């Protein structure tokens, strides 16, 4: 699984991060922007945040259950 930021006008890649391997039971569920962080949740209880401008990892947590949200477009 890859997390990517693309240029809106051209579709060119700005940055890309590998989120890890997944399968049907352990996948990445959703992303949400809260404040100045891009949050990514996974079905295995992982919750990570990234800087949207640079793709730099900011926070990483392991929860007791999965977290989900509506997809962003």
User: When comparing pLDDT for 10 and 47, which is higher?
Assistant: 10
Half-sphere exposure of residue 51: CA atoms within 13 angstroms, side-chain side:
8
Measured CA to CA, the distance from residue 54 to residue 65 in angstroms comes to: 28
DSSP secondary structure string for all residues of 5-26: EE-TTT--EEEEEE----BTTB
pTM here is 0.75
* CB atoms inside a 10 Å sphere around CB 41: 20
- Which residue bears the tokens 């700005």? 14
Q: Which helix (H) or strand (E) holds 34?
A: strand 28-34
pLDDT tens digits for range 15-66? 998 877 655 445 666 788 889 999 988 877 888 999 999 999 999 999 887 7
């Amino acid at each position: 699984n890859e997390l990517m930021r693309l240029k809106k006008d051209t579709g060119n890649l700005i940055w890309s991060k590998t989120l890890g391997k997944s399968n049907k039971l352990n996948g990445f569920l959703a992303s949400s922007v809260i404040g100045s962080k891009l949050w990514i949740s996974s079905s295995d209880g992982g919750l990570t945040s990234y800087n949207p401008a640079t793709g730099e990892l900011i926070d990483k947590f392991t929860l007791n259950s999965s977290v989900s949200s509506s997809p962003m477009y």
